[in-house]
Amino acid sequence: MELKATSLGKHLAQHPYNRARLLHAGVEVSGEKHQYIIPFNQLIQVRCKRGIVWGELEFELPDEKVVRLHGTEWQETQRFHHCLQQTWQQWSIEMSEVSAGVLQQQVGHIQRIEQQDKWFKKSDLDKLQQQIRLSLDAIPMPIIRLDEFDNCRKDYQLCLQWLQRHGLRSVEQRNRQWTERMMETHHDFFQTVESSPLNDSQSRAVVNGENSVLVLAGAGSGKTSVLVARAGWLLRRQEAEPGQILLLAFGRQAAEEMNERIKARLGDVAIQAKTFHALALQIIQQGNRKALAISKLETDSKARRALLIAYWQRQCTEKKAQAKGWRQWLIEDLEWELPEGDFWQDKRLAERLAGRLEHWLGLMCMHGGSQAEMIEQADEEIRDLFSKRIRLMAPMLKAWKNALKEEGAVDFPGLIHQAANILEKGRFVSPWKHILVDEFQDISPQRSQLLAALRKQNKQTCLFAVGDDWQAICRFSGAELALTTTFEGVQCALDTTYRFNERIGEVANGFVQQNPYQLRKPLNSLSKGNKKSVVILPQEQLEVLLDKLSGYAKPDERILVLARYHHLKPETLAKAETRWPKLNIEFMSIHASKGQQSEYVIIVGLCSGRDGFPAVARESVLEDVLLPQPEDFPDAEERRLLYVALTRAKHQVWLLQDREHPSVFVEQLHHLGVPLQKKP
């Protein structure tokens, strides 16, 4: 059947299309120079309109496209439209049956997924949505028409909901319901997996089944309990064999403690916590199929420093330009006072510099690149200076590499780089489906790359990390806080601390969150405390305070005396053993106190100046370039360091200030309501 515009209508309409022809499953619209075939599977609607004289047909297509035919005789237009509608509708009914079959199959798949007894991951939602899109692509008519047919409407709307935001809400609701069911069904597990029953937030973190989970665990909130319980949960649910679970810690002692805890709580299961370096060593040995030794110099700081100082002194002795460069560096960057003449022979100066050389060498090894690559990384305005400093360090780096070569060993940074390289080349097949990481806030870019390489090598690997951005105090060793604060995955928080009282929590939490870049999280305490749970005293009151403590502190109660630097140990403590024999007093730096707890904490050295707290920045250009960029907030890491110190205490904290040269933190703490007292 065909419809044509009248001669006059054709002349007056001046339109590219002037005739239409009904095809087997479509319409051909054409003119003198144009032809357009509209298959029924692209046709959304046909409208028949009457003008003043002639008729008009309007064909609506996807993407808001419209094709019009003008200037046709009205009765002929009606007749053609009627015939077209009959043919099109018959075709549509047949196609709706096909569409209904496709939709029913897809809805059945959705229902099977919904009924699965496991966590619904966001990645699962992505896959489901992709599958729904593929199903809708297989529909033989424009999907916008599916609402017209009773046999398609309901299933089509369900598919649409899963494609839209409702899909994410459905997943979240389903996971909440599943979590509640798991916590009820496995009540005995959550009550007994640790020495104390897991609380609600801990239990929810343990069962969270996303591919990447970051558990924000504030001080004393039970992060180790969550890691142990997570491993136990994976075994209980048969989501992994013991050999498919990897626990990672940053230090050997932390790994050993984790292994003891696993054995005590889960029994003799074949799960072993490792340090990142132990993991790297395993990957290299299996990937290269040969034994590999870690340099003895890595575990002997005294020998390591002696080696570096010997080469430093040799360079300064043999090359005047080298000696001149070092003098300039130490005076200009570090503001050290140097003796005249052969300053490198000064024993005290050498001892002081040894730690710096060790640190700078570590940064260069951690970077892993050539000198040219390091220099290229520096900003243009400091590149020349950085290049000079790197050239001064080059002999030490060469000496270090030669020492490793002679020993036939590798250093710690070399382990990480080699392991990542082996993974990238596919020479090690990762057996781990689940990687659990402790203290994630201390992660460095290099360790992060190692984790990424493991997960890339085994796409099914899930990452479960526990950490606290409020306790990130290791930038000096290469830790990059942004890897925690911009974590790619889901975050959940442990909301209860079992260590300190509410008053200590109010002060510590309020103080650290004055930095708006710290992640916000709740951290509630089980006991109240009082206004004097945190107090600021003059530093001269330490003896008086210890006298007072000796009157009520029990022998088994621990008293931690903390300072920003180890060399700031108060002289008063030299006589503590005989003056207060019943007091259990320990002194350490705040960095060393991480992971510790005690009944009472005394923080000394709250002063300004060179050995002050917050510490005056003493970084050279090497740290500027080779360490992660510091945050754009005054004393951000020093603030977190004080938070760590405050949260070591269960009952009470005293902060001892220098009243003549007070720390800026004193005023900020006082503003938060911490009382200033003249005596304890």
pLDDT at 476: 87
Digit-coded pLDDT (tens) for 354-371? 999 999 999 999 998 888
In the predicted structure, residue 333 carries a pLDDT above the cut 70:
yes
Residues 243-266 have a mean pLDDT of: 94
The H or E element containing residue 293 is strand 293-294
Return all residues near 244 (Cβ < 8 A) that are at least 6 apart: 431, 432, 433, 434
CATH 3.40.50.300 fits 193-292+414-450+461-497, yes or no: yes
Is residue 52 predicted with pLDDT exceeding 80? no
8 A C-beta contact, residue 669 and residue 507: yes
Residue 313 burial (CB < 10 Å; 0-12/13-18/19+)? Answer: middle
Say what the pLDDT of residue 346 is: 93
Which residue is listed with tokens 């659990």? 436
What pLDDT score does 657 carry?
Answer: 97
Domain 516-671, CATH:
3.40.50.300
Distance CA 277, CA 576 (A): 39
Strand pairing partners for 216? 467, 493
Does the predicted TM-score (pTM) go above 0.85? yes
User: What is the percentage of the chain residues whose pLDDT exceeds 90?
Assistant: 84
DSSP E strand stretches across 340-433:
409-410
pLDDT of residue 9: 64
pLDDT at 368: 86
Q: The CATH number of 1-185 is which of 3.90.10.10, 3.90.550.10, 2.30.29.30, 3.40.50.2000?
A: 2.30.29.30
Point out which residues pair with 467 in neighbouring strands: 216
Q: How far is Cα 460 from Cα 223, in angstroms, rounded to an integer?
A: 24
Q: Is the peptide bond preceding residue 614 cis, with omega within 30 degrees of 0?
A: yes
- Ranges for all domains in the chain classified under CATH 3.40.50.300: 193-292+414-450+461-497, 516-671
* Contact (Cβ atoms closer than 8 angstroms) between residue 454 and residue 429: no
| pLDDT for position 17 | 83
pLDDT band for 381, please (50, 70, 90 cuts).
very high
Interval 404-430: pLDDT, tens: 999 999 999 999 999 999 999 999 999
Q: Are strands 496-497 and 524-525 parallel, antiparallel or unpaired?
A: parallel
Q: Is the pLDDT of residue 212 over 80?
A: yes
Type and span of the H or E element at 535:
strand 534-538
Report yes or no: 216 and 489 within 8 Å, Cβ to Cβ: no
3-state secondary structure of 651: strand
Which of left, alpha, beta for 605 (phi over 0: left; psi -120 to 50: alpha)? left
Q: Residues 461-501: pLDDT tens digits? A: 999 999 999 999 999 889 999 999 999 999 999 999 999 99
* Domain limits, CATH 2.30.29.30, in the chain: 1-185
Task: Say which residues have a Cβ less than 8 Å from residue 102's Cβ, sequence separation at least 6.
Answer: 135, 138, 139
CB pairs under 8 A, 24+ apart, for 569-578?
A: 570/542, 570/604, 572/542, 572/543, 572/546, 576/546
* pLDDT for 388: 94
pLDDT confidence of residue 610: 83
- What are 615-667's pLDDT values in tens digits? 987 778 999 999 998 888 999 999 999 999 999 999 999 999 999 999 999 99
For a pLDDT cut of 70, what percent of the chain falls above it? 99
Return the structure tokens found at 176.
Answer: 């909440």
Which pairs from 102-106 meet CB under 8 Å and 24+ separation?
102/135, 102/138, 102/139, 103/135, 103/139, 103/146, 103/152, 103/155, 103/156, 103/159, 104/155, 105/135, 106/131, 106/132, 106/135, 106/155, 106/159
Has residue 14 got a pLDDT over 70?
no
pLDDT, averaged across the chain: 93
pLDDT, one tens digit per residue, over 546-561 is 999 999 999 999 999 9
Residues 6+ apart with CB under 8 A from 10: 18, 71
Which residues have a Cβ under 8 Å from the Cβ of 25 and sit 6 or more positions away?
A: 39, 40, 41, 91
Strand partners, 30: 19, 35
Whole-angstrom Cα distance, residue 645 to residue 594? 8
| pLDDT number for residue 114 | 84
Rounded CA-CA distance 548/539 in Å is 15
Give residue 11's pLDDT band: very low, low, confident or very high (50, 70, 90).
low
Mean pLDDT calculated for residue range 593-602: 96
**Predicted local confidence at residue 616, as pLDDT:** 84
Q: Would you give the DSSP letter of residue 486?
A: T
Contact 537, 655 (CB under 8 A): yes
Q: What is the rounded distance in angstroms from the CA atom of residue 391 to the CA atom of residue 382?
A: 14
Does position 147 have pLDDT exceeding 90, yes or no? Answer: yes
| Tens digits of residue pLDDT in 26-40 | 999 998 888 899 999
Q: Which of 422, 433, 476 is nearest to 458 (CA)?
A: 433
pLDDT reading at 211 higher than 90? yes
